[in-house]
Amino acid sequence: MTLQRIALVVEFDGRAFHGWQRQKNAISVQEVLEHVLEKIEGRPVPLVAAGRTDAGVHAEALLVHADVDKKRWQRSARAYTQGVNQLLDGSVCVVGVRAVKDDFHARFNCMERRYRYQIWNRSTPSAIHQWRHWWMPKKLNLDMIKEASRCLLGLQDFSSFRASGCQAASAVRNIKHIEITSQGWEVFMDIHADAFLYHMVRNITGSLVRVGTGAWHPEMLAEVLHARDRTRAAATAPAHGLYFVDAIYQGFSAKQLIGKESSMS
Of 13, 54, 102, 190, the catalytic one is: 54
Listed in sequence order, the residues at least 6 apart from 111 whose beta carbon sits closer than 8 Å to its beta carbon are: 194, 248, 249, 250
Q: Is 208 in contact with 221 (CB distance < 8 Å)?
A: yes
State the Cα–Cα distance between residues 206 and 211, nearest whole angstrom. 9
Q: Exposed e or buried b for every residue in 37-75, given b needs 16+ CB within 10 A?
A: beeebeeebebebbbbbbbbbbbbbbbbbbbbbbebbee
What DSSP string describes 183-195? ETTEEEEEEEES-
CA gap 2, 240 in Å, rounded: 41
Read off the DSSP letter of residue 86: H
| Catalytic residue list contains 54 | yes
Between helices 77-86 and 29-41, what is the axis angle to 10°? Answer: 120
Q: Residue 136 in contact with residue 120, Cβ under 8 Å?
A: yes
Q: Which residues are catalytic?
A: 54
